[in-house]
């Protein structure tokens, strides 16, 4: 019962977006809008005014944007973020006595009541406002006051008090003495554009050598132009560090390793060094830096894989045994998922007495590679490391380097995947890999884009990875590879492929598993040269279409369209805040048979008059069709091309 609080009558609750009550920021890229909603009301029946206040972190001044009432005491407003880094936002609401007075005056006039005293009440408010303000508006307000005061005819005075001009100026300077502020300041993390729009290509550099020889960074440099030509802007490598020899895995994850087997790159660390060293067969740090530079020249960024686990030969195991679990027999506990054993790997113990040193050392790994020019990290299995560590580490790094992107490689339970995105990962692997039916895709995309997840979880769709040869790819050959590729690249603005195996439609699994037989994880592959039937050309085309159409550079803008065929999935994407055209995508999910159907086009969203024909241009096949009305015919033969990617044009 102190201060002015008792007179602050407005209530502001249920503010969205708000991740974990404001503990974590929502995510945006420059130019994107933050749409803020809240339940705002007060006692009685007075009018309410409300604004969003926002600013860049560290800025001294707040900007404001008006909120408007939608329905049922729900209010909405929006602001646009422009720069990378953190923004803050909060809300203010107050009882608007002047607007309340105007409405009452209007009703009293209509009822023929005497309004002489009422006009005086309004004049007092106008005078008080004029006294408060300094700008040129003051002069105008004083003029309005004078006009009303001196006007002999009450009706004329009233119409002046109710005029749009009076309303405008009074709305600009509301009496906010008793304004109530929302009790929290919420935040937006603004990442660079690539956080939302990126095309990833994964390869093992060691497979790039001639024949079966160990590839090098120099070999990598030679492939950069081709990767750039195919339109990828992120080239991601599995770990490039020295590989342990103790319990090294052989081909096909065999527990016994033959001479010459290179081992899994995820068994990190040897006498050569650990997470800040380079596997010597790949080259030197100088070679690496050259490669990063060369890639940069071609518009390609190198992404490193950060896997916080060690081979038993890692220097940390010797220098910091307290960072690991020691068994009663004195040995270090290796990784296991009973009854499976992973003896080539020892996990870190985040309950170590020495956890602060461990945290610092792990963060140093990122800082080391950031210093070498790396700005994108794919983090291996982050869900098996302490969440508190990630929350701290990612925030610390982003505070200094807001352009760093972290991709969370967690394939685990929904709430855990969400949590990793909340605590700071920029992008996330998803369940896309295991979604097959039209219903599943629509349900999953709806969850990703229409729920709170859309505010903080940026999906990155991968049809395959070195760990996963999805069942959908195993049985139907090339048409299934093409439909998964087009789905990944058009459903989500972030997508990636484990490239060589995908381009060549490699689809032989370990029997009964979703894993590659003779996986590149355990051996050097000599991929054959790409022939005409490789998917490289289609990838290049797809990435070009993505680059040229802003609608495909967002994910939350998707809207599924009705088409009465369960094998045909159709969706519309319209770029918000951009004048580039709408995109209408249709994919045949059946890799065997031609499917046909009539898609319902929401003409009103495309500004197309009901009976006017319009043009859809298929960016894949370079052909145009003239459509008319709400229902239009689609026919897709998977053996020719299982999809259309149409840009839509009014005629």
Q: Which stretch binds its own copies (CB under 8 A): 43-51, 364-372, 529-537, 584-592?
A: 43-51
In the stretch 176-215, what mask flags binding to its own copies with x, by CB under 8 A?
Answer: --x-------------------------------------
> CB of 484: closest distance to its own copies in angstroms?
27
Q: Which is nearer to its own copies, 223 or 428 (CB)?
A: 428
Nearest by Cα to 305 from 383, 235, 214: 235
**Is residue 350 part of the contact set for its own copies (CB under 8 A)?**
yes
Report in angstroms the alpha-carbon separations of 538 from 227, 468, 541, 620: 13, 22, 5, 8
- Determine whether 504 is exposed, middle or buried from the number of CB atoms within 10 Å of its CB (0-12, 13-18, 19+): middle
> CB of 466: closest distance to its own copies in angstroms?
22
Rounded CA-CA distance 240/568 in Å is 42
With CB under 8 A as the contact rule, the residue among 58, 110, 134, 532 that binds its own copies is 110
> CB of 408: closest distance to its own copies in angstroms?
12
According to DSSP, residue 627 is labeled E
* Contacts of its own copies in 408-447 (CB under 8 A): 413-416, 419
With CB under 8 A as the contact rule, the residue among 16, 159, 384, 594 that binds its own copies is 384
Where would I find the beta strands (DSSP E) of 566-608? 568-573, 583-588, 595-600
**Is residue 356 part of the contact set for its own copies (CB under 8 A)?**
yes
Contacts 24+ apart (CB under 8 A), 361-367: 361/316, 361/320, 362/308, 362/389, 362/393, 363/393, 363/396, 363/397, 364/276, 365/275, 365/276, 365/306, 365/308, 366/306, 366/393, 366/397, 366/404, 367/397
With CB under 8 A as the contact rule, the residue among 9, 176, 193, 251 that binds its own copies is 9
Q: Which is nearer to its own copies, 107 or 293 (CB)?
A: 107
- Determine whether 107 is exposed, middle or buried from the number of CB atoms within 10 Å of its CB (0-12, 13-18, 19+): exposed
Rounded CA-CA distance 580/576 in Å is 9
> CB of 382: closest distance to its own copies in angstroms?
8
564 is catalytic: no
Rounded CA-CA distance 606/503 in Å is 35
Q: Which is nearer to its own copies, 42 or 428 (CB)?
A: 42
Residue 211 neighbours by CB distance under 10 Å: 6
Half-sphere exposure (Cβ direction) of 251: Cα atoms closer than 13 Å: 9
Q: Which is nearer to its own copies, 262 or 382 (CB)?
A: 382
> CB of 559: closest distance to its own copies in angstroms?
28
Rounded CA-CA distance 244/519 in Å is 18
- Catalytic pick among 32, 145, 191, 380: 380
Nearest by Cα to 646 from 610, 622, 612, 613: 622
Nearest by Cα to 28 from 37, 19, 20: 19
409 is catalytic: yes
Residue 309 β-bridge partners: 347
User: CB under 8 Å to 284, separation ≥6 — which residues?
Assistant: 278
Cβ 610 vs Cβ 562: under 8 Å: no
3-state class percentages of the chain: helix first, strand second, coil last, to nearest 5: 35, 25, 40
Q: Which is nearer to its own copies, 94 or 237 (CB)?
A: 94
* Contacts of its own copies in 119-148 (CB under 8 A): 120-121, 124
**Is residue 388 part of the contact set for its own copies (CB under 8 A)?**
yes
**Is residue 104 part of the contact set for its own copies (CB under 8 A)?**
yes
Q: Among all chains, which residue has been given the structure tokens 């977006």?
A: 17
- Catalytic pick among 96, 233, 301, 409: 409
Q: Which is nearer to its own copies, 211 or 339 (CB)?
A: 339
**Is residue 13 part of the contact set for its own copies (CB under 8 A)?**
yes
Q: Which is nearer to its own copies, 69 or 592 (CB)?
A: 69
Q: Which is nearer to its own copies, 58 or 356 (CB)?
A: 356
In the stretch 53-82, what mask flags binding to its own copies with x, by CB under 8 A?
Answer: -------------------xx---------
Q: Write out the catalytic residue numbers.
A: 380, 409
**Positions in the binding site for its own copies (CB under 8 A):** 1, 5-9, 11, 13, 20-21, 39, 41-45, 72-73, 95, 103-104, 107-108, 110-111, 113, 117, 120-121, 124, 178, 327-329, 336-339, 350-351, 355-356, 359, 383-389, 392, 413-416, 419
């Amino acid at each position: 019962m102190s201060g002015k609080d008792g007179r602050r009558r407005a209530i502001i609750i249920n503010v969205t977006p708000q991740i974990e009550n404001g503990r974590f920021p929502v995510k945006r890229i420059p130019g994107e809008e933050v749409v803020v909603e809240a339940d705002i009301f007060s006692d009685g029946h007075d009018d309410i005014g409300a604004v969003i206040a926002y600013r860049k972190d560290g800025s001294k001044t707040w900007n404001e944007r008006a909120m408007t009432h939608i329905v049922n005491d729900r209010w909405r407003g929006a602001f646009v973020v422009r720069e990378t880094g953190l923004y803050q936002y909060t809300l203010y609401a107050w009882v608007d006595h002047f607007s309340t007075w105007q409405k009452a005056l209007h009703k009293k006039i209509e009822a023929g009541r005497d309004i002489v005293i009422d006009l005086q009440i309004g004049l007092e408010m106008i005078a008080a406002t004029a006294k408060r303000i300094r700008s040129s508006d003051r002069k105008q307000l004083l003029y309005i006051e004078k006009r009303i005061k001196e006007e002999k005819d009450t009706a004329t005075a009233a119409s002046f008090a109710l005029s749009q001009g009076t309303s405008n100026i009074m709305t600009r300077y509301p009496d906010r003495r008793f304004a109530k502020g929302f009790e929290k300041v919420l935040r937006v993390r603004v990442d660079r554009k690539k956080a939302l729009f990126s095309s990833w290509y994964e390869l093992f550099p060691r497979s790039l050598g001639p024949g079966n020889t160990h590839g090098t960074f120099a070999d990598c440099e030679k492939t950069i132009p081709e990767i750039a030509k195919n339109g990828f802007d992120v080239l991601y490598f599995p770990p490039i560090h020295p590989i342990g020899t103790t319990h090294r895995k052989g081909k096909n994850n065999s527990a016994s390793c033959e001479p010459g087997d290179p081992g899994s790159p995820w068994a990190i660390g040897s006498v050569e060094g650990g997470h800040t060293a380079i596997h010597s067969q790949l080259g030197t740090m100088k070679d690496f830096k050259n490669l990063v530079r060369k890639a940069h020249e071609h518009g390609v960024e190198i992404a490193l894989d950060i896997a916080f686990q060690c081979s038993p030969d890692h220097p940390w195991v010797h220098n910091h045994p307290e960072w690991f679990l020691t068994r009663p027999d004195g040995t270090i506990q290796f990784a296991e998922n009973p009854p499976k054993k992973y003896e080539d790997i020892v996990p870190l113990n985040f309950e170590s007495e020495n956890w602060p040193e461990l945290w610092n050392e792990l963060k140093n790994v990122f800082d080391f590679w950031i210093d070498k020019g790396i700005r994108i990290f794919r983090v291996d299995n982050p869900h098996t490391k302490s969440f508190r560590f990630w929350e701290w580490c990612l925030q610390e790094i982003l505070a200094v380097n807001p352009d760093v992107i972290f991709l969370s490689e967690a394939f685990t339970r929904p709430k855990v995947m969400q949590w990793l995105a909340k605590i700071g990962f920029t992008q996330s692997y998803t369940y896309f890999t295991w979604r097959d039916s039209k219903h599943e895709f629509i349900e999953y995309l709806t969850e990703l884009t229409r729920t709170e997840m859309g505010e903080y979880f940026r999906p990155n769709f991968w049809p395959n990875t070195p760990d996963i040869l999805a069942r959908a790819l195993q049985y139907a050959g090339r048409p299934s590879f093409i439909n998964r590729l087009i789905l990944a690249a058009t459903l989500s603005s972030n997508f990636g492929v484990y490239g060589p195996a995908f381009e060549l439609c490699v689809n032989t699994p370990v029997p009964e598993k979703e894993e590659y037989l003779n996986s590149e994880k355990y051996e050097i592959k000599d991929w054959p040269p790409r022939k005409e039937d490789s998917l490289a050309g289609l990838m290049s085309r797809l990435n070009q279409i993505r680059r040229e159409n802003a609608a495909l550079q967002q994910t939350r803008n998707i809207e599924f369209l009705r088409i009465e065929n369960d094998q045909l999935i159709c969706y519309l994407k319209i770029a918000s805040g951009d004048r580039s055209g709408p995109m209408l995508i249709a994919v045949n999910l059946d890799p065997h048979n031609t499917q046909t159907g009539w898609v319902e086009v929401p003409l009103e969203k495309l500004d197309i008059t009901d009976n006017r024909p319009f043009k859809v241009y298929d960016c894949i096949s370079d052909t145009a069709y003239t459509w008319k009305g709400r229902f239009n015919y689609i026919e897709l033969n998977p053996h020719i091309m299982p999809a259309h990617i149409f840009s839509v044009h009014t005629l």
